Structure formats: C-alpha cells, structure tokens
Amino acid sequence: MPDGNHPEGRPEPDALQSRSVLVERLGVEIDPELLELALTHRSFAYENGGLPHNERLEFLGDSILGQAVTVRLYLDNPELDEGALAKRRASVVSGVALAEVARTLGLGEFLRLGRGEELTGGREKVSILADTVEAIIGATYLSAGPDEATALVLRLITPLMSDPARFGAALDPKTALQELADERKAPAPVYVVEGTGPDHAKVFHATVTVDGLATGRGEGTSKKHAEMAAALDAWTQATTR
C-alpha cells in the first residue's frame, strides 16, 4: 500500500514490464508505485518538477536493514562479543557492501536519474546504489509487511555473510586487496583519488591499480570511502576471474 509519497499516476506499461524483471530478482511483490518511488533519485525528481524521491523510503529501509542484520548476527554468532558483532554489522550495512548487493541485482539499469547523474556514471555510484537498496527494503515493508521485508534483507545479505573471504573483504577491502597482492606476488596497490563538486557536497572518485591483477574504481563522500569502494571492486575482479 502506498504511503502517500509517490510520483503522480502509476508507471507506464513499458516501465511496469521492465520493473517486473527486478521484482522477480528480488523475490517479493512490491506495489508498483512504491517500487517506482524507490528507484527515483532526487536528481530525477528535481529535474521533473519536484517529484517525490526515494529518500524517505531509504530512511525507513535503513532501520529495517539494521534490525534484521543485528538479529541474524546475534543468533548466528553466540561466540562473538559486542565489539565483534558491531564490526560485522557495520561491514554488512556499509555503502560498499550494499552497492555490491545492488550490482548482483543489476539495480543500476532500473534507476531513474537526472541528466547530470547519468553523465557522471550515477548508475554505478556506490552511494546511489546503496541508498536505492535501502529504499527498496522500505518499499517492501510498506507493500508486504515486516516479515517479507526482513526476509528480503536476509536473502540479499546472506551470500555476503556466508562467504568468509568476501565478508572480510567488505569489512576491510584495502587490507584484503593488499593481502591478495602479496599472495599473488603482485606490486602494492596504487590509489589515485579526485574530488568533484562544491565543498559542501564533494564526491570523491578513486582508482586503484594492482599491476597484472586488477584495476578497481569507486566513489564516496570521503577519500577513505572512495578508496574502500575501489579496493573492493578490484578485489572482486581479481577473485572472480
């Protein structure tokens, strides 16, 4: 059921057909209006007369995500203390990890972005992908209820949590990449970071190169986050070849 904060009118038939592919990947029925809202970035909304966008749903989804991950980690890891649990939760709900989830869903192709974001690679930006995952979780909660929303979260993050190597890489991708380079006797990773935009809304773009192994790219709201995203990208490339 819509929450009263969705674009006017229902999605066009072609859009509904396209979204059905995403719904199938998610494995849960989501109200079409809410799904369209979840996929609407503020850049698209502002360029189209101030339409509603996905930030309210993102706010809701963030809370549901945190609760579901916390409960699962607590129940599955009775040997871990509070500090270890907190670190694992932080890695699973991080922007880098959620962006990886988004890429497995092919989420970028479904986004509604403004022209500026389209021109600057918005469909691959960590922050946009991660925020959209949270918005979809929020839309699922409103459409199908708390149990289905929790089930969706667990489906999305279980592959990450059940793969110790990938879990460690998401927790500390720069260290994971360095260790992989050492293991394969490759040169140390080299990072290049550039910032764009005004000081109050700067976005950093990072590239990391490990000669003979991989070149990764990432972005974030800080140099650290951009480097982490690039490192995870490079690590993923190198370990999936």
DSSP assignment, residue 109? Answer: G
Residue 134 in contact with residue 37, Cβ under 8 Å?
Answer: no
Q: In the block, which residue shows the tokens 């459409």?
A: 143
Among residues 117, 134, 219, 233, which one is catalytic? 134
Q: Is 117 a catalytic residue?
A: no
Q: Is 76 a catalytic residue?
A: no
Q: Tell me the two tokens of residue 197.
A: 């935009």
Among residues 62, 100, 117, 219, which one is catalytic? 62
Question: How far apart (Å, rounded) are the C-alpha atoms in residues 223 and 218?
Answer: 10
User: Which amino acid, residue 13?
Assistant: P
Helix (H) or strand (E) holding 146: helix 146-162
Question: How far apart (Å, rounded) are the C-alpha atoms in residues 50 and 233?
Answer: 34
Is 211 within any annotated ligand binding site?
A: no
Name the burial class of residue 221, with classes exposed (0-12), middle (13-18) and buried (19+) by CB atoms within 10 angstroms of its CB.
middle
Is 131 within any annotated ligand binding site?
A: yes
Binding-site entries for Mg(2+): 58, 131, 134
Name the residues annotated as catalytic: 62, 134
Binding-site entries: 58, 131, 134
